[in-house]
Amino acid sequence: MLFPPITLVKLKPGHIETLKHLALKGNIYEYNPLSSSELGKRLGLSQQSASKKILELLNLELIKRKMGARRQLVKITAKGMEVLRKEFSQYQKIFDSMEHIIIRGTLISGLGEGQYYISQDGYMDQFQQKLWFKPYPGTLNLRIEGNDLSKLQILKDTEGISIEGFQSEGRTFGRVKCFLTDIQNVECAVIIPLRTHYTDVLEIISRHYLRDKLKLKDGDIIEIVVSL
């Protein structure tokens, strides 16, 4: 052949996967032995394909290799680590964004029930202890619609801050959970009863009487950032 086989390989998902397994095996800083058959087992591939993967990574300059008598020694290059770091930061971004969710709702008037419930000392004492504020004895009610309803489901699926149930005046007050949040930079908490039927209303408590403090009225669209 007249022309040398300059095979320009593009970076594909399989390459990153391979590189990741090299890193997990500890071939980052130092040359470590890694047979193609062992790599194949890790990747769920044949010895032949794993060998090819190594050659491709060499071609991409993501790894370096020393040939020993019986075995090859492999280590990841700085460029290779760069690729892994980029990948890592993408996953960090994904899971960072999961730490809080934004829910939008419309302010509505409650039935005054919330007020009765949260005023109970059995709840109030725990709020003060676990949320670090003593709530104003009333709740702000947000009606959630459309897409945001699925976010309500997330809250139901997430642990949150647990407020234990108790007995008082011959009644049972059930366990609820809270999520810290804020409305226009005012510290609040969302309260969600643990055992409840379907609802599209979110109850929010705060140290302050929010309707006055933030000049809110029924029908206002409110956005809350909830910490999971």
Partner DNA sequence: ATTACTATAGTGCGAGTAA
Partner DNA sequence: TTTACTCGCACTATAGTAA
Tokens of 96: 């960072």
CA distance linking residue 6 with residue 22, whole number of Å: 25
Could you say which of 67, 69, 90, 185 contacts a copy of itself (CB under 8 A)? 90
- Nearest approach in angstroms of CB 35 to DNA is 4
Which range binds a copy of itself by CB under 8 A, 96-104, 108-116, 181-189, 213-221? 96-104
CA distance linking residue 103 with residue 149, whole number of Å: 9
* Residue in 196, 222, 219, 217 with CA at minimum distance from that of residue 204: 222
Ramachandran angles phi, psi of 84, nearest 5°: -65, -40
84 binds a copy of itself (CB under 8 A): yes
Could you say which of 16, 23, 55, 216 contacts DNA (CB under 7 A)? 55
Q: Which is nearer to DNA, 56 or 203 (CB)?
A: 56
Site string for a copy of itself, 29-58 (x = CB under 8 A): xxx---------------------------
| Partner touching 23 among DNA, a copy of itself, none, CB below 5 to 8 Å by kind | a copy of itself
Question: Which contacts (CB < 8 Å, 24+ apart) does range 71-74 have?
Answer: 71/33, 71/34, 71/35, 72/33, 72/34, 72/35, 72/36, 73/31, 73/32, 73/33, 73/34, 74/22, 74/27, 74/31, 74/32, 74/33, 74/34
| Partner touching 186 among DNA, a copy of itself, none, CB below 5 to 8 Å by kind | none
Q: Which is nearer to DNA, 52 or 104 (CB)?
A: 52
Tokens of 25: 């095996």
On whether the CB atoms of residues 9 and 59 are closer than 8 A, the answer is yes
**Placement of tokens 């509505």 in the chain:** 108
Other C-beta atoms closer than 10 Å to the C-beta of 71 total 14
| Partner touching 34 among DNA, a copy of itself, none, CB below 5 to 8 Å by kind | DNA
Could you say which of 20, 21, 25, 52 contacts DNA (CB under 7 A)? 52
Which range binds a copy of itself by CB under 8 A, 33-41, 146-154, 184-192, 215-223? 146-154
Q: Which is nearer to a copy of itself, 84 or 161 (CB)?
A: 84
Could you say which of 23, 32, 38, 201 contacts DNA (CB under 7 A)? 38
Instruction: Give the interface with a copy of itself as residue ranges (CB under 8 A).
Output: 12-14, 16-17, 20, 23-24, 26, 28-31, 75, 78, 84-85, 87-88, 90-95, 97-98, 101, 147, 150-151, 154, 157
